[in-house]
Structure 1
Amino acid sequence: MDPALSIFISIIHVAICVVGLLGNTLVIYVVLRFSKMQTVTNIYIVNLAIADECFLIGIPFLVTTSILKSWTFGGYMCRIYMTTIGINQFTSSTFITIMSADRYIAICHPISSPKLRTPFISKIVAAAAWTISAIMILPIILYSDAVKDPSEPDHYTCNIIWPTSNNTFTIYSFILTFAIPLTLTFICYVLVIRKLQTVGPKNKSKEKKRSHRKVTKLILTVITVYVFCWLPYWITQLVLIFQSPEQQGVSLFLLCHMIANLLSNANSAMNPVLYAFLSDNFKKSFVKACICAANKDVNAALQIENSVFPKKLGRSESERQKEYYQTNTTVCTLNDDRNNEDSQLVTRNDIAIASRSTTTELQFEKEPQAKEELIKNGLQPTAV
């Protein structure tokens, strides 16, 4: 490969790694941080983000190998690296299928949906998906190793060394990670779209229907992008099975193969961008998380400044800092509207009780005889 092209591809991979890790970490954070984001669909989205991060953490090894033209991390790290790639392929396709089935249950079976679509059941399904994916990638774990490059004995490559033919595992992976999941997803969404088109306006409220359509549109877009990114990769992999070694060296095919690999790798960084543009809840949660992080940095800087350079604040400046802190703390502690209302109600009641208690104490100070009279009669002088 041309050195300039190799550097260009490495830069793209670094960008994919940075954007993907930041975006997927933010997705995981907002779902775990804000209770209103902990829906059944978002639990599956978090698991999809974790699967993407499994691949993204291996990109630095890929870039280093591309620059040095040799795998320098040993056989053990090669096995870990190949496992992260395999777990991403198998787990991502599994959760894409699960999210499609979840949309089918939510829209086509609204009566049984509340019983089947609970956070507890979704966590069990997610755990089962990870377990099944781990079982399916056992061949990768067993046969991955660092081997000497036949063309350059001083260099090593990280590959899967199959006892027979590599083509068997390619077909195995294609069927389990693309063909079957794509078929099941297609069936689920055909049924979902038919249901959305035929459902009567009186069956559900407009707000409920609008919510279903938004979530369905988001998941359908994620699936479409997934197919767009992975279809060229699997086409090139299947072509390699039926091509002779001489034909595989054609520069045009190598270029197509390289672009297909880049697309499949980029898919791990695309989902957070889709959530930010297509989901209002994710968009608001992303903004809220960024504001909270910025406020923590500002408050930490102010605390350091005050501890190093202590100064006596005037009344107006002190009140401004207090108001700023209370405002930003309120923004960062929002979880859901119901909890906010409850917490505000408790706060107002506590303030009212405290105010009445303070007023009563002042009255007893002015009239100490009244307080003594209450105590003699066995009563507690408290506010009512």
Structure 2
Amino acid sequence: MDSLEDYEYPQDYNYSYESFTPREEAISQHKSMCVKQVLCVSLLVGSVVVFLLGFCGNALVIWISGFKMKKTVNTTWYMSLAISDFVFCAFFPFSITNMAMEDWIFGRFMCKFASSVMFLNMFSSIFLLVVISIDRCVSVMFPVWAQNHRTVKKASVVVIISWLLAIGMSVPSVIFREVKTHLGRTVCYNNYTLYRHGHKVVAVSRFLTGFVVPFVVIIVCYSIIILKLRTNRMMKSSKPFKVMSALVAAFFICWLPYHVSVLLELDHQKYDHSILNAGLKIGTLMAAANSFLNPVLYVFMGNDFKQKFRSSMLSKMENAMAEEGRTTSRYLSRSSSMDGRASTHI
């Protein structure tokens, strides 16, 4: 994600490094001033917490869904989400170090690669959430077909396609990210000076493909699911939908401030620099926080509150993911025995 690297310095906005040459005196000294700034220290502490919780939590999800549970379509979805978040957390220390030192010390390759990984996480997460929503909708609307064709192999293929699309959407970071050293300080930034409309195209395309369109698809899918199940009076357990709804809500709540800040940055002349800079930093940290919320939601929504204190964390997370598989199976089995009536009551 470019924000933690882009917005640490007054001259490091998305569009170009050269745009802020009048502020060169701000970076005339290499000494980091982060420890003297309340906002910067708060962001550092928050970032370290996100890294520790996200790295450990997603490692647990990967271990449970990959080695402790039977491989199903549902565990395939959740393991893919966990892998996406785990990779993000693994590269997050680069951003944390850059923020603390106010200096990029990792070279040009890591400037491009680390930023690409951040956006790979964003797009792979939202694409997988869209896939899961469509999968739920198809299972409810066409239960017999889903029971016969919904396989782990096909789910794995869909996951691979989603990751390939996410990789494609991360390419702009490889193209535009650059490193420049000036007055003793090295920065990793987005250089759009050679592309007149590059900044706007990238920002708007990320907003549409990584936020607006997925949001519309997910809302449509869940609306269909709710109407279908209420019509058939077959909503025996709402827990799977609560888990999935919480995952989707967490993603959009975490990423909305980031996208809003980036869009406002397109017309940066209209806004106060300090306010815009603070908004970008806070929005970036909120977006990063999404990487550890998923495993937390597995834990706190896996069982009833009292049962959380009677079982281990592994059991809670496993129950959260397994519950969806059991509920979906019960629904598909019951639907199959109704002689097709369930698929006609819309």
Given that 1:104 and 1:189 are in contact with CA atoms closer than 8 Å, whether structure 2 keeps it comes out as yes
Please tell me whether residue 191 in structure 1 is matched to residue 224 in structure 2: yes
Q: Distance in 2 between matches of 1:87 and 1:260?
A: 18
Partner of 2:242: 217
Q: Distance in 2 between matches of 1:267 and 1:127?
A: 22
Alignment of 1:257-296 (within 5 A): 257-280=280-303, 286-287=313-314
Partner of 1:247: 271
Letter in 2 for 1:232: P
Q: Distance in 2 between matches of 1:156 and 1:183?
A: 41
Q: Distance in 1 between matches of 2:312 and 2:150?
A: 23
Please tell me whether residue 140 in structure 1 is matched to residue 165 in structure 2: no
Partner of 2:62: 28
Given that 2:247 and 2:297 are in contact with CA atoms closer than 8 Å, whether structure 1 keeps it comes out as yes
Letter in 1 for 2:61: V
Q: Distance in 2 between matches of 1:34 and 1:231?
A: 35
Structure 1 residues 116 and 140 mapped into 2: Cα distance closer, same or farther (>3 Å)? Answer: farther
Which structure's CA Rg is the greater one?
Answer: 1
Given that 2:124 and 2:163 are in contact with CA atoms closer than 8 Å, whether structure 1 keeps it comes out as yes
Given that 2:257 and 2:283 are in contact with CA atoms closer than 8 Å, whether structure 1 keeps it comes out as yes
Letter in 1 for 2:314: V
Letter in 2 for 1:210: K
Given that 1:23 and 1:273 are in contact with CA atoms closer than 8 Å, whether structure 2 keeps it comes out as yes
Given that 2:136 and 2:225 are in contact with CA atoms closer than 8 Å, whether structure 1 keeps it comes out as yes
Partner of 2:4: none
Letter in 2 for 1:247: Y
Please tell me whether residue 87 in structure 1 is matched to residue 120 in structure 2: yes
Alignment of 1:257-336 (within 5 A): 257-280=280-303, 286-287=313-314
Query: Relative contact order (C-alpha < 8 Å, sep 6+): which is higher?
Result: 2
Given that 1:26 and 1:286 are in contact with CA atoms closer than 8 Å, whether structure 2 keeps it comes out as no
Letter in 1 for 2:212: A
Partner of 1:334: none
Letter in 1 for 2:42: F
TM-score by length of 2: 0.74
Partner of 2:158: 125
Q: Give the SS at the match of 1:279.
A: coil
Identity of aligned residues (%): 25
Q: Distance in 2 between matches of 1:288 and 1:86?
A: 32
Given that 1:103 and 1:192 are in contact with CA atoms closer than 8 Å, whether structure 2 keeps it comes out as yes
- The CA deviation at 1:105 is 1.2
Residue deviations 1:196-218, cap 9 Å, x none? 211145xxxxxxx435x322221
- The CA deviation at 1:248 is 4.1
Q: Distance in 2 between matches of 1:66 and 1:139?
A: 22
Partner of 1:72: 105
Alignment of 1:105-116 (within 5 A): 105-116=138-149
Q: Distance in 2 between matches of 1:34 and 1:59?
A: 27
Partner of 1:354: none
- The CA deviation at 1:285 is 7.7
Partner of 1:230: 255
Structure 1, unaligned stretches of length 5 or more?
Answer: 202-208, 291-384
Q: Distance in 2 between matches of 1:189 and 1:69?
A: 44
User: More displaced, 102-111 or 133-142?
Assistant: 133-142
Q: Distance in 1 between matches of 2:174 and 2:312?
A: 38
Given that 1:103 and 1:216 are in contact with CA atoms closer than 8 Å, whether structure 2 keeps it comes out as no
Q: Give the SS at the match of 2:183.
A: coil
Residue deviations 1:295-353, cap 9 Å, x none? xxxxxxxxxxxxxxxxxxxxxxxxxxxxxxxxxxxxxxxxxxxxxxxxxxxxxxxxxxx
Q: Distance in 1 between matches of 2:265 and 2:110?
A: 27
Structure 2, unaligned stretches of length 5 or more?
Answer: 1-33, 318-346
TM-score by length of 1: 0.67
Structure 1 residues 153 and 166 mapped into 2: Cα distance closer, same or farther (>3 Å)? Answer: farther
Partner of 2:210: 177
Given that 1:52 and 1:88 are in contact with CA atoms closer than 8 Å, whether structure 2 keeps it comes out as yes
- The CA deviation at 1:243 is 3.4
Structure 1 residues 288 and 181 mapped into 2: Cα distance closer, same or farther (>3 Å)? Answer: closer
Given that 2:300 and 2:316 are in contact with CA atoms closer than 8 Å, whether structure 1 keeps it comes out as no
Residue deviations 1:239-287, cap 9 Å, x none? 111331x6241x3333333222221110111010101111249x76843
Structure 1 residues 79 and 222 mapped into 2: Cα distance closer, same or farther (>3 Å)? Answer: same
Q: Distance in 1 between matches of 2:272 and 2:77?
A: 39
Q: Give the SS at the match of 2:143.
A: coil
Given that 1:90 and 1:177 are in contact with CA atoms closer than 8 Å, whether structure 2 keeps it comes out as yes
Partner of 1:12: 46
Q: Give the SS at the match of 1:210.
A: coil
- The CA deviation at 1:140 is 1.8
Given that 2:177 and 2:190 are in contact with CA atoms closer than 8 Å, whether structure 1 keeps it comes out as yes
